[in-house]
Structure 1
Amino acid sequence: MSDSPIAQRLRLTFGKMGNLKYTSNLDIAKVWERALRRANLPILYTQGFNARPRIQIAIALPLGITSECELIDVALKERIDYSDLPERIMEVSPDGLYVYDVKEVALHENALETEIESAEYRITFIDSIDTEQLQQTVETYMAQERIMKIERNRRGKKTAYDLRPLLYDLHVDDAGHLLAHVATGTRGNVRPDLLLSELGLGDAFVQVHRTKLHIRD
């Protein structure tokens, strides 16, 4: 019999919509802490003076971006029936937080943030744009063998890296959306605003929505 204090580990897929898109990742964690407590879940807490709930959000979502695919792992000290958990949580959650799915995962599975490999985004242009010209620009950009960039860390040190291997797919769909599949996580973190800047669209008015997170097999 396991001596682990974790009796059950649940992985929830949730959405971040409306004004909640302007809430930071740190504050979203606090929103989740309150929601889980109000839903009367037997949350497992860390030990020590400043005990915190054993929850882990997969990866930070940049401010201003909505999503339908965020992931959070919740450790429980007692097993529960989670069939109605999405409804229970949304009843006590602020507007903009949606729970789409709940599944049970292994108690000692790797930290969620280390398992994320990539993300997909849908970028919608608010102002009218020439989609044929945009597609040509995208094709020319993606045809490059190397896209060298300079990154500066917090200490001001510059590091050169090749952006091209971190771009898995970039194209314009029939509705005129720019769809991007990019590396996210330990390999690199390509933000949608960087892509827009690279394409000469840094000043464009857009709505960005994260549609999928890919987890390492």
Structure 2
Amino acid sequence: MRLRITFSKSGTLRYTGHLDLHRIWERTCRRAGIPLSYSQGFHPQPRISLAAALPLGFIGQAELVDLWLDQDEDLNQILKDLQAAAPPGLMLTSIQSIDPQQPALQTQVNSADYEVVFLDPVDPLHVTSSLTGILSCVSIPRQRRGKDYDLRPLLKSLELIRTDNENSPILTMRLSVSPSATGRPEEVLAELGFSPENTRITRTRLILDNG
């Protein structure tokens, strides 16, 4: 039985890395008494598969994890047991059974939506002007870890949403996710002239190939 769970990651759990999050899921399943399947070989590992890694400090609003079970179980009971065993900051929102023959979860993710809240007042007109400039570019050369890359093809959409507070608009963006190149919101912010340290970034959605 293969399950896909949607969950949020917030609070102090925002500062938990990808590998540690995997271990947290393993412990949560064990505490909940979930009959996980294990891989074959000399060092069997629980079959838990997380989607795209979430950078440290980011909030995850609709993250995805796949679990393989040794036997069929009631979905509602699994969700209830897992939520009761989950640590603070890990909130399960939905669960579904999926075809075990589907491709690996990581390979199905093609893009991600982000929401950026500015912690300091900003001028919406200035931000809008910066957005117009970056979206009109054919190429946006950037460098990460000593390697040159083009940010522009990774940027699928970028929009400023006005709020009741005139100086606190919300920036939304959709960035490409692939094994060869993944768009990072902090790189977009840097190109716009903003420091990620003065923002709160939430990944609101992961988009899969099947929608």
Q: What's the TM-score once normalised by structure 2's chain length?
A: 0.92
1:185 maps to 178
Bigger drift between 78-87 and 67-76 goes to: 78-87
| SS class of match (1:20) | helix
> Is the Cα contact below 8 Å between 1:127 and 1:204 reproduced in 2?
no
* Cα displacement string for residues 79-123 of structure 1 (whole angstroms, at most 9, x for unaligned residues): 111123322111111100011111111111101101100000000
What stretches of structure 1 move > 3 A for 4+ residues in a row? none
Deviation at 1:204, TM superposition (A): 5.0
- Work out the CA distance in 2 between the residues paired with 1:84 and 1:142: 47
- Does residue 14 (structure 1) correspond to residue 2 (structure 2)? The answer is no
- Work out the CA distance in 1 between the residues paired with 2:22 and 2:38: 14
1:142–1:56 CA distance, 2 compared to 1 (3 A): same
> Is the Cα contact below 8 Å between 1:10 and 1:73 reproduced in 2?
yes
> Is the Cα contact below 8 Å between 2:160 and 2:171 reproduced in 1?
yes
1:95 maps to 88
Among 99, 108, 116, the residue aligned to 1:115: 108
For structure 2, the 5+ residue unaligned runs are 164-168
For structure 1, the 5+ residue unaligned runs are 1-7
> Is the Cα contact below 8 Å between 1:117 and 1:186 reproduced in 2?
no
- Work out the CA distance in 2 between the residues paired with 1:186 and 1:48: 26
Deviation at 1:187, TM superposition (A): 4.9
- Work out the CA distance in 1 between the residues paired with 2:178 and 2:84: 32
Among 22, 26, 29, the residue aligned to 2:19: 26
Amino acid at match of 1:133: H
Bigger drift between 46-55 and 24-33 goes to: 46-55
Deviation at 1:148, TM superposition (A): 2.4
Amino acid at match of 1:164: R
Deviation at 1:203, TM superposition (A): 5.8
- Work out the CA distance in 2 between the residues paired with 1:203 and 1:101: 30
- Does residue 165 (structure 1) correspond to residue 165 (structure 2)? The answer is no
Q: What's the TM-score once normalised by structure 1's chain length?
A: 0.89
- Work out the CA distance in 2 between the residues paired with 1:203 and 1:35: 31
2:199 maps to 206
1:82–1:193 CA distance, 2 compared to 1 (3 A): same
Amino acid at match of 1:212: R
Among 72, 75, 78, the residue aligned to 2:71: 78
* Cα displacement string for residues 3-41 of structure 1 (whole angstroms, at most 9, x for unaligned residues): xxxxx1000011101000000110000000011111111
Among 28, 36, 42, the residue aligned to 1:43: 36
1:185–1:69 CA distance, 2 compared to 1 (3 A): farther
2:166 maps to none
- Work out the CA distance in 2 between the residues paired with 1:174 and 1:151: 31
% same residue: 35
Deviation at 1:135, TM superposition (A): 1.2
1:39–1:200 CA distance, 2 compared to 1 (3 A): same
C-alpha RMSD over aligned residues: 1.5
